[in-house]
Amino acid sequence: MKHTSKLPDVGTTIFTVMGALANQHEALNLSQGFPNFKSDQKLMDLVSHAMNSGYNQYSPMAGSMELRVAIANKFEHLYHTSYNPDSEITVTAGATQAIYTIISAFIRPNDEVIIFRPAYDCYEPAIELNGGKTISIQLEAPNYSVDWNEVAQKINSKTKMVIINTPQNPSGTVFSKDDMLKLQELLKGTNIILLSDEVYEHIIFDSEQHQSACLFSDLKSRSFVVASFGKTFHNTGWKVGYCCAPKELMQEFQKVHQFNVFSVHHPTQKALADYLQEPNHYLELSDFYQRKRNLFLSLIKDSRFKINPAKGTYFQVLDYSEITDEHDLDFAKRLTIEYKIASIPMSVFNENNLDNKVLRFCFAKTDDTLKQAADILNNI
């Protein structure tokens, strides 16, 4: 059979490439974004208890009501804002499914979607599959700050959606309150939807406050806020996330969601609903990861890498321009093969593979792993 690919330029993801290379060469893997330590035993026990208690059939399409109420309570507690658990919250098979479904529900051929690069790699393929056009705003290393005048110039009558990610993977930066206010002003009076990818909302450092889209009234009225339990509770393999949006937007989302997923693993939803009753299970996460970031950076402070401390997420970008002028993909592969440490080259997330001589390292690792990594990096 002959066919024309709908994604002709998409090959094997960089995460798969670097992960496989790390396995092949028995390298320390700081490339892929998941912890190498266990989730809380209490949460795992709650899942087993839910299974043994009979929560093994389909949950409601939008998610179990217990979990949706717990999510609504979290937003009240953290952001002093409300989402109706009946009509404005949907539990999803991870944040990526939520993002794909949002784009599929609203993007039609020739619609334009603005994204900020370096960008997580699931946005553009979903836009392309639905016939949309990606409009990139390239952010410059090392600060990755937004030029809002450039954004204003890119908005036009074809702009259907803007996608933001804060705290941002892969750069580890965060949007400030001023950024969000400028974005709100640009979108006011338009029909543009905001997709706010906030999966690292609980991992933000140095006493900064996460500026969720739901904190800004006009943004909230046009926004999907996307979140991830996997990132928050150290169990990315469970693939459970959720999104919140005004009722009229969520209705369109659920029209697509019910036919490509319908519902998510029921016993895990029951366990999460119970686990969320204790807010410290997510409120303590920033301190937990800040200690890991600080440890990692203190251990490599005398290395030849230039360091701009991450403001959020569990990723640290390191500038290697004083070490070599190799392309970042080549250098990342050489580090994996010769030095036995794997990272992610940042150019793969940039417009036209812009190479700023920086690599992304995941510090969601045990302290011993971070010490081993530092020993390697200090000898490069």
d(CA 366, CA 205): 19
Q: Which residues pair with 225 in a beta bridge?
A: 196, 244
Positions of the chain with pLDDT lower than 50, given as ranges: none
Q: What is the DSSP letter of 58?
A: P
pLDDT at residue number 2: 86
The model carries a pTM of 0.96
State the Cα torsion 34-36-37-41 to the nearest 10°: 60
Q: Which pLDDT score is estimated for 1? A: 86
CB atoms within 10 A of CB 280: 7
CA distance 368 to 251: 47
> CA–CA separation, 135 vs 119, rounded Å?
12
Contact 371, 299 (CB under 8 A): yes
> Which pLDDT score, from 0 to 100, does residue 32 have?
85
Q: List the structure tokens of 141.
A: 């290393």
Under 8 Å between Cβ of 15 and 31: yes
Give me the pLDDT at residue 357, please.
98
Residue 251 CB neighbours (<10 A): 13
Domains of the chain: 14-32+284-377 (3.90.1150.10), 41-281 (3.40.640.10)
Compute the distance between CA of residue 235 and CA of residue 93 in angstroms, rounded to an integer: 13
**DSSP assignment of 39-107:** PPHHHHHHHHHHHHTT--SPPPTT--HHHHHHHHHHHHHHHS----TTTSEEEESHHHHHHHHHHHHH-
Q: Are 327 and 359 in contact, with CB atoms under 8 Å apart? A: no
Tens of pLDDT along 310-356?
Answer: 999 999 999 999 999 999 999 999 999 999 999 999 999 999 999 99
List, for residues 33-85, the tens digit of each pLDDT value.
889 999 999 999 999 999 999 999 999 999 999 999 999 999 999 999 999 99
Position 271 scores a pLDDT of 98
